[in-house]
Amino acid sequence: MKFAIVKNGAYPLRDLVADELIDVCLRHGHEISPASNGVQFVLNLTETLSPQSFRRRSQSVFVVSIVEGQDDGRNLQSRCYTTLIRSLSNLLVCAVPANGSSNALDGLPEIHFTTPEAGFYHLPFDAEEVYQRILPIISAHFATDNKFSTDLPERYWVSTPVVDQIKSYGRELDNLKVLPAPFPLREVLAEEDMRHIYKIYGITGASYGNLSARESIPELGEVTFWMTGRGVNKANLSMIGKDVLLVKGFDEDRSAVLVSVPSDFDPKARVSVDAIEHYLIYREFPEVGAIVHVHAWIDDVLCTRQNYPCGTRELAHEVVELLRRTPDPSRAEVGLKNHGLTITGHSLDEIFDRIRHRLRREVHMFA
Protein backbone atom coordinates (compact mmCIF):
# COMPACT_ATOMS: atom_id res chain seq x y z
CA MET A 1 0.00 0.00 0.00
CA LYS A 2 1.10 3.56 -0.66
CA PHE A 3 1.09 6.03 2.21
CA ALA A 4 1.81 9.70 2.75
CA ILE A 5 3.34 11.56 5.67
CA VAL A 6 1.96 14.94 6.75
CA LYS A 7 3.69 16.83 9.55
CA ASN A 8 3.24 20.05 11.47
CA GLY A 9 5.52 21.24 14.25
CA ALA A 10 8.29 19.29 15.96
CA TYR A 11 7.66 17.12 19.02
CA PRO A 12 10.57 14.85 20.07
CA LEU A 13 8.59 11.87 21.36
CA ARG A 14 5.95 12.00 18.63
CA ASP A 15 8.59 12.21 15.92
CA LEU A 16 10.63 9.36 17.41
CA VAL A 17 7.54 7.12 17.47
CA ALA A 18 6.58 8.17 13.94
CA ASP A 19 10.08 7.55 12.54
CA GLU A 20 10.16 4.01 13.94
CA LEU A 21 6.62 3.32 12.71
CA ILE A 22 7.53 4.56 9.22
CA ASP A 23 10.52 2.21 9.16
CA VAL A 24 8.25 -0.71 10.05
CA CYS A 25 5.77 0.26 7.31
CA LEU A 26 8.60 0.30 4.77
CA ARG A 27 9.87 -3.10 5.97
CA HIS A 28 6.36 -4.51 5.42
CA GLY A 29 6.47 -3.38 1.79
CA HIS A 30 4.48 -0.15 1.98
CA GLU A 31 5.66 2.74 -0.15
CA ILE A 32 5.90 6.46 0.70
CA SER A 33 4.13 8.58 -1.89
CA PRO A 34 2.80 12.14 -2.26
CA ALA A 35 -0.63 12.52 -0.71
CA SER A 36 -2.13 13.29 -4.12
CA ASN A 37 -0.85 10.05 -5.66
CA GLY A 38 -3.57 7.52 -4.79
CA VAL A 39 -2.41 6.68 -1.26
CA GLN A 40 -4.28 4.17 0.90
CA PHE A 41 -3.36 5.74 4.23
CA VAL A 42 -1.83 8.88 5.71
CA LEU A 43 0.32 9.28 8.81
CA ASN A 44 -0.68 12.70 10.12
CA LEU A 45 1.89 14.00 12.63
CA THR A 46 0.04 16.70 14.52
CA GLU A 47 -0.68 18.01 18.03
CA THR A 48 -3.50 18.02 20.58
CA LEU A 49 -3.83 21.80 21.10
CA SER A 50 -4.40 22.72 17.48
CA PRO A 51 -4.58 19.52 15.44
CA GLN A 52 -4.38 19.73 11.69
CA SER A 53 -6.64 17.57 9.54
CA PHE A 54 -5.91 15.80 6.29
CA ARG A 55 -8.77 16.33 3.83
CA ARG A 56 -9.05 12.99 2.11
CA ARG A 57 -10.90 12.76 -1.19
CA SER A 58 -12.74 9.58 -0.26
CA GLN A 59 -13.40 7.38 2.75
CA SER A 60 -11.13 4.69 1.25
CA VAL A 61 -8.13 6.78 2.42
CA PHE A 62 -7.47 6.09 6.10
CA VAL A 63 -5.89 8.72 8.35
CA VAL A 64 -3.80 7.76 11.38
CA SER A 65 -2.89 10.82 13.44
CA ILE A 66 0.12 10.68 15.77
CA VAL A 67 0.45 13.09 18.70
CA GLU A 68 2.40 13.54 21.91
CA GLY A 69 0.65 13.94 25.25
CA GLN A 70 0.77 13.61 29.03
CA ASP A 71 -1.17 11.01 31.01
CA ASP A 72 -3.25 12.92 33.53
CA GLY A 73 -5.94 10.29 34.09
CA ARG A 74 -9.40 10.52 32.56
CA ASN A 75 -8.54 13.83 30.90
CA LEU A 76 -6.23 12.02 28.49
CA GLN A 77 -9.07 9.95 27.05
CA SER A 78 -11.25 13.02 26.52
CA ARG A 79 -8.38 15.01 24.99
CA CYS A 80 -7.46 12.15 22.66
CA TYR A 81 -11.04 11.66 21.46
CA THR A 82 -11.49 15.36 20.79
CA THR A 83 -8.19 15.40 18.88
CA LEU A 84 -9.32 12.38 16.86
CA ILE A 85 -12.49 14.20 15.83
CA ARG A 86 -10.82 17.54 15.13
CA SER A 87 -8.14 15.88 12.98
CA LEU A 88 -10.82 13.91 11.05
CA SER A 89 -8.91 10.68 11.74
CA ASN A 90 -9.73 6.98 11.65
CA LEU A 91 -7.29 6.34 14.50
CA LEU A 92 -5.33 8.46 16.96
CA VAL A 93 -1.97 7.28 18.32
CA CYS A 94 -0.83 9.25 21.36
CA ALA A 95 2.71 8.80 22.71
CA VAL A 96 3.01 9.44 26.46
CA PRO A 97 6.37 9.71 28.30
CA ALA A 98 7.28 6.72 30.45
CA ASN A 99 6.00 6.81 34.03
CA GLY A 100 5.07 10.46 33.84
CA SER A 101 8.67 11.48 33.17
CA SER A 102 9.29 15.16 32.42
CA ASN A 103 11.83 14.09 29.81
CA ALA A 104 9.85 12.93 26.76
CA LEU A 105 12.68 10.66 25.58
CA ASP A 106 13.42 9.10 28.97
CA GLY A 107 12.47 5.42 28.98
CA LEU A 108 9.95 3.41 26.96
CA PRO A 109 6.86 5.51 26.17
CA GLU A 110 3.27 4.28 26.49
CA ILE A 111 1.13 4.34 23.36
CA HIS A 112 -2.59 5.14 23.73
CA PHE A 113 -4.95 4.29 20.86
CA THR A 114 -8.29 6.05 20.32
CA THR A 115 -10.92 5.02 17.76
CA PRO A 116 -14.12 6.75 16.55
CA GLU A 117 -16.10 3.98 18.28
CA ALA A 118 -14.73 5.31 21.61
CA GLY A 119 -12.18 2.53 21.92
CA PHE A 120 -9.32 3.59 24.22
CA TYR A 121 -6.49 1.21 25.09
CA HIS A 122 -2.72 1.29 25.50
CA LEU A 123 0.48 -0.73 25.40
CA PRO A 124 4.21 -0.11 25.83
CA PHE A 125 5.78 1.27 22.67
CA ASP A 126 6.99 -1.26 20.16
CA ALA A 127 6.86 -0.12 16.54
CA GLU A 128 5.87 -3.55 15.23
CA GLU A 129 3.08 -3.88 17.79
CA VAL A 130 1.76 -0.42 16.90
CA TYR A 131 1.82 -1.35 13.21
CA GLN A 132 -0.14 -4.55 13.89
CA ARG A 133 -2.87 -2.49 15.63
CA ILE A 134 -2.97 -0.06 12.69
CA LEU A 135 -2.97 -2.67 9.90
CA PRO A 136 -6.60 -3.88 10.29
CA ILE A 137 -7.77 -0.27 10.02
CA ILE A 138 -5.69 0.90 7.05
CA SER A 139 -6.48 -2.25 5.06
CA ALA A 140 -10.24 -2.35 5.75
CA HIS A 141 -13.01 -1.68 3.21
CA PHE A 142 -15.96 0.52 4.06
CA ALA A 143 -19.46 -0.44 2.93
CA THR A 144 -21.40 2.56 4.19
CA ASP A 145 -22.77 4.25 1.06
CA ASN A 146 -26.57 4.46 0.79
CA LYS A 147 -28.61 4.06 -2.38
CA PHE A 148 -32.11 5.48 -1.88
CA SER A 149 -35.35 4.51 -3.61
CA THR A 150 -38.62 6.31 -2.90
CA ASP A 151 -40.51 3.02 -3.17
CA LEU A 152 -41.52 2.49 0.45
CA PRO A 153 -45.21 1.51 0.36
CA GLU A 154 -47.40 4.29 1.76
CA ARG A 155 -48.77 2.06 4.51
CA TYR A 156 -45.29 2.22 6.13
CA TRP A 157 -44.74 5.97 5.94
CA VAL A 158 -45.94 6.91 9.44
CA SER A 159 -45.00 3.92 11.59
CA THR A 160 -45.46 0.20 12.17
CA PRO A 161 -45.53 -1.89 15.36
CA VAL A 162 -41.93 -2.92 14.61
CA VAL A 163 -40.80 0.70 14.28
CA ASP A 164 -42.66 1.59 17.47
CA GLN A 165 -40.68 -1.12 19.26
CA ILE A 166 -37.40 0.29 17.94
CA LYS A 167 -38.35 3.73 19.25
CA SER A 168 -39.33 2.30 22.63
CA TYR A 169 -36.17 0.26 23.08
CA GLY A 170 -34.01 3.18 21.99
CA ARG A 171 -35.38 4.97 25.04
CA GLU A 172 -34.71 1.90 27.19
CA LEU A 173 -31.06 1.82 26.12
CA ASP A 174 -30.81 5.39 27.33
CA ASN A 175 -32.47 4.44 30.64
CA LEU A 176 -30.00 1.57 31.04
CA LYS A 177 -27.17 4.14 30.70
CA VAL A 178 -25.51 2.19 27.86
CA LEU A 179 -26.29 4.77 25.21
CA PRO A 180 -23.64 7.50 25.47
CA ALA A 181 -24.83 10.97 24.58
CA PRO A 182 -24.18 11.94 20.95
CA PHE A 183 -20.76 13.55 20.59
CA PRO A 184 -21.27 17.28 19.92
CA LEU A 185 -19.38 17.54 16.63
CA ARG A 186 -20.41 21.14 16.05
CA GLU A 187 -18.79 22.18 19.32
CA VAL A 188 -15.32 21.13 18.13
CA LEU A 189 -15.52 21.34 14.33
CA ALA A 190 -15.82 24.36 12.08
CA GLU A 191 -18.69 24.43 9.59
CA GLU A 192 -16.28 23.69 6.73
CA ASP A 193 -15.11 20.53 8.54
CA MET A 194 -18.73 19.51 9.13
CA ARG A 195 -19.43 19.81 5.41
CA HIS A 196 -16.35 17.70 4.68
CA ILE A 197 -17.44 14.98 7.12
CA TYR A 198 -20.89 14.89 5.54
CA LYS A 199 -19.35 14.67 2.06
CA ILE A 200 -17.03 11.80 3.00
CA TYR A 201 -19.09 9.91 5.60
CA GLY A 202 -22.64 11.14 5.14
CA ILE A 203 -23.05 12.05 8.79
CA THR A 204 -24.18 15.22 10.53
CA GLY A 205 -23.48 13.97 14.06
CA ALA A 206 -21.83 11.16 16.02
CA SER A 207 -23.68 8.79 18.33
CA TYR A 208 -23.19 5.27 19.61
CA GLY A 209 -25.29 2.12 19.44
CA ASN A 210 -28.07 1.07 17.09
CA LEU A 211 -31.13 -1.16 16.81
CA SER A 212 -32.75 -3.03 13.96
CA ALA A 213 -35.69 -5.39 13.54
CA ARG A 214 -36.87 -7.49 10.64
CA GLU A 215 -40.17 -6.73 8.92
CA SER A 216 -41.14 -8.75 5.87
CA ILE A 217 -42.12 -6.57 2.90
CA PRO A 218 -42.01 -9.08 0.01
CA GLU A 219 -42.46 -6.48 -2.74
CA LEU A 220 -39.16 -4.85 -1.68
CA GLY A 221 -36.95 -7.91 -1.29
CA GLU A 222 -36.18 -11.13 0.54
CA VAL A 223 -34.35 -9.43 3.43
CA THR A 224 -36.03 -6.26 4.72
CA PHE A 225 -35.50 -4.66 8.11
CA TRP A 226 -35.84 -1.34 9.91
CA MET A 227 -32.72 0.25 11.36
CA THR A 228 -31.84 3.41 13.25
CA GLY A 229 -30.21 6.24 11.34
CA ARG A 230 -26.60 7.37 11.38
CA GLY A 231 -25.68 9.97 13.99
CA VAL A 232 -29.20 10.26 15.44
CA ASN A 233 -30.03 10.24 19.15
CA LYS A 234 -31.38 6.72 19.73
CA ALA A 235 -33.25 7.92 22.83
CA ASN A 236 -35.38 10.29 20.74
CA LEU A 237 -36.34 8.50 17.52
CA SER A 238 -39.28 9.90 15.58
CA MET A 239 -39.57 9.91 11.76
CA ILE A 240 -39.36 7.12 9.22
CA GLY A 241 -37.06 8.34 6.48
CA LYS A 242 -34.98 10.32 8.96
CA ASP A 243 -34.41 8.56 12.30
CA VAL A 244 -35.44 5.03 11.23
CA LEU A 245 -34.94 3.65 7.72
CA LEU A 246 -35.92 0.49 5.83
CA VAL A 247 -33.02 -1.55 4.44
CA LYS A 248 -33.98 -3.83 1.54
CA GLY A 249 -30.66 -5.15 0.28
CA PHE A 250 -27.01 -4.52 -0.54
CA ASP A 251 -25.41 -3.58 -3.86
CA GLU A 252 -22.15 -5.56 -3.98
CA ASP A 253 -20.75 -3.69 -6.99
CA ARG A 254 -21.24 -0.24 -5.44
CA SER A 255 -20.69 -1.44 -1.88
CA ALA A 256 -23.88 0.42 -0.99
CA VAL A 257 -26.80 -0.34 1.30
CA LEU A 258 -30.16 -0.23 -0.50
CA VAL A 259 -32.61 1.93 1.44
CA SER A 260 -36.35 2.31 0.80
CA VAL A 261 -37.82 5.66 1.90
CA PRO A 262 -41.05 7.68 1.65
CA SER A 263 -41.20 10.55 -0.82
CA ASP A 264 -40.68 13.16 1.93
CA PHE A 265 -37.54 11.55 3.38
CA ASP A 266 -34.70 13.67 4.78
CA PRO A 267 -32.03 13.81 2.02
CA LYS A 268 -29.30 14.01 4.66
CA ALA A 269 -30.48 10.86 6.43
CA ARG A 270 -28.27 7.78 6.28
CA VAL A 271 -28.79 4.36 7.80
CA SER A 272 -26.35 3.34 10.55
CA VAL A 273 -22.86 2.43 9.34
CA ASP A 274 -23.42 -1.05 10.81
CA ALA A 275 -26.14 -1.78 8.22
CA ILE A 276 -23.81 -4.07 6.22
CA GLU A 277 -23.23 -6.16 9.35
CA HIS A 278 -26.95 -6.37 10.16
CA TYR A 279 -27.83 -7.20 6.54
CA LEU A 280 -25.38 -10.12 6.46
CA ILE A 281 -26.68 -11.44 9.79
CA TYR A 282 -30.31 -11.33 8.64
CA ARG A 283 -29.38 -12.95 5.32
CA GLU A 284 -27.30 -15.75 6.86
CA PHE A 285 -29.52 -16.50 9.86
CA PRO A 286 -33.23 -16.41 8.93
CA GLU A 287 -34.35 -16.98 12.52
CA VAL A 288 -32.79 -13.69 13.68
CA GLY A 289 -35.61 -11.19 14.06
CA ALA A 290 -33.77 -8.29 15.73
CA ILE A 291 -30.27 -6.99 16.44
CA VAL A 292 -28.98 -4.57 19.07
CA HIS A 293 -25.54 -2.98 19.13
CA VAL A 294 -24.44 -1.27 22.35
CA HIS A 295 -21.24 0.17 23.78
CA ALA A 296 -21.51 -2.11 26.79
CA TRP A 297 -20.14 -5.51 27.75
CA ILE A 298 -21.16 -9.00 28.87
CA ASP A 299 -18.57 -11.30 30.42
CA ASP A 300 -17.32 -14.44 28.66
CA VAL A 301 -18.45 -13.60 25.12
CA LEU A 302 -16.68 -14.58 21.92
CA CYS A 303 -14.89 -11.49 20.64
CA THR A 304 -13.46 -10.23 17.34
CA ARG A 305 -9.69 -10.51 17.09
CA GLN A 306 -9.13 -7.11 15.53
CA ASN A 307 -10.33 -3.57 16.14
CA TYR A 308 -11.95 -3.21 12.71
CA PRO A 309 -13.73 0.09 12.01
CA CYS A 310 -17.54 0.19 12.07
CA GLY A 311 -19.13 -0.14 8.65
CA THR A 312 -16.39 -2.27 7.12
CA ARG A 313 -16.82 -5.58 5.33
CA GLU A 314 -14.10 -7.07 7.52
CA LEU A 315 -15.98 -6.39 10.77
CA ALA A 316 -19.29 -7.59 9.29
CA HIS A 317 -17.83 -10.90 8.08
CA GLU A 318 -15.97 -11.58 11.34
CA VAL A 319 -19.15 -11.00 13.38
CA VAL A 320 -21.04 -13.46 11.14
CA GLU A 321 -18.30 -16.06 11.62
CA LEU A 322 -18.37 -15.55 15.40
CA LEU A 323 -22.13 -16.05 15.41
CA ARG A 324 -21.66 -19.35 13.57
CA ARG A 325 -19.52 -20.50 16.50
CA THR A 326 -22.20 -19.78 19.12
CA PRO A 327 -24.67 -22.48 20.26
CA ASP A 328 -27.59 -20.56 18.73
CA PRO A 329 -26.74 -17.69 16.34
CA SER A 330 -30.34 -16.47 16.51
CA ARG A 331 -30.00 -15.79 20.25
CA ALA A 332 -26.38 -14.75 20.86
CA GLU A 333 -24.04 -12.03 22.08
CA VAL A 334 -20.63 -11.43 20.50
CA GLY A 335 -18.02 -8.87 21.47
CA LEU A 336 -16.46 -6.26 19.21
CA LYS A 337 -12.90 -5.64 20.39
CA ASN A 338 -12.56 -2.40 22.38
CA HIS A 339 -15.97 -1.35 21.12
CA GLY A 340 -19.07 -3.14 22.44
CA LEU A 341 -21.52 -5.92 21.62
CA THR A 342 -23.64 -7.19 18.76
CA ILE A 343 -26.69 -9.02 20.16
CA THR A 344 -29.12 -11.11 18.14
CA GLY A 345 -32.57 -12.35 19.07
CA HIS A 346 -35.92 -13.49 17.75
CA SER A 347 -37.37 -10.06 18.63
CA LEU A 348 -36.39 -6.91 20.49
CA ASP A 349 -38.60 -8.04 23.39
CA GLU A 350 -36.67 -11.30 23.63
CA ILE A 351 -33.27 -9.56 23.42
CA PHE A 352 -34.02 -7.08 26.20
CA ASP A 353 -35.58 -9.72 28.46
CA ARG A 354 -32.34 -11.67 28.07
CA ILE A 355 -29.71 -8.97 28.48
CA ARG A 356 -31.07 -5.99 30.44
CA HIS A 357 -29.74 -7.31 33.78
CA ARG A 358 -26.45 -8.62 32.36
CA LEU A 359 -25.02 -5.54 30.65
CA ARG A 360 -21.92 -3.89 32.06
CA ARG A 361 -21.66 -0.22 31.18
CA GLU A 362 -17.86 -0.24 30.93
CA VAL A 363 -16.56 -1.88 27.75
CA HIS A 364 -13.61 -4.17 28.38
CA MET A 365 -10.52 -2.68 26.68
CA PHE A 366 -7.44 -4.70 25.79
CA ALA A 367 -4.44 -4.39 23.50
Q: Tens digit of pLDDT for each residue in 316-348?
A: 999 999 999 999 999 999 999 999 999 999 999
- Are 2-138 and 145-355 in the same CATH fold? no
Q: Tens digit of pLDDT for each residue in 34-45?
A: 988 889 999 999
- The answer to whether the beta carbons of residues 261 and 270 sit under 8 Å apart is no
- The CATH superfamily assigned to 145-355 is Class II aldolase/adducin N-terminal domain (3.40.225.10)
Confidence band for 103, pLDDT divided at 50, 70 and 90? low
The DSSP code for 126 is -
Pick 2-138's CATH classification: 3.40.50.10300, 3.40.50.10490, 1.10.3720.10, 3.40.50.2020: 3.40.50.10300
- The string over 267-283, giving b where at least 16 C-beta atoms fall within 10 Å of a residue's C-beta and e elsewhere, is eebbbbbbbbbbbbbbe
Q: Tens digit of pLDDT for each residue in 19-39?
A: 999 999 999 999 999 988 889
pLDDT of 102 above 60? no
Q: In what order do the strands lie in the sheet with 210-214?
A: 145-149, 256-260, 244-251, 225-228, 210-214, 290-294, 340-345, 333-336, 302-303
Phi, psi of 274, rounded to the nearest 5 degrees: -80, 10
Which pLDDT belongs to residue 353?
97
Angle 316-317-318 from CA coordinates, rounded to 5°: 95
Burial of 158 (0-12, 13-18, 19+ CB in 10 A): exposed
- How many Å apart are CA 340 and CA 335, to the nearest integer? 6
Boundaries of every domain in the chain: 2-138, 145-355
- How many Å apart are CA 258 and CA 307, to the nearest integer? 26
Question: What is the pTM (predicted TM-score) of this model?
Answer: 0.93
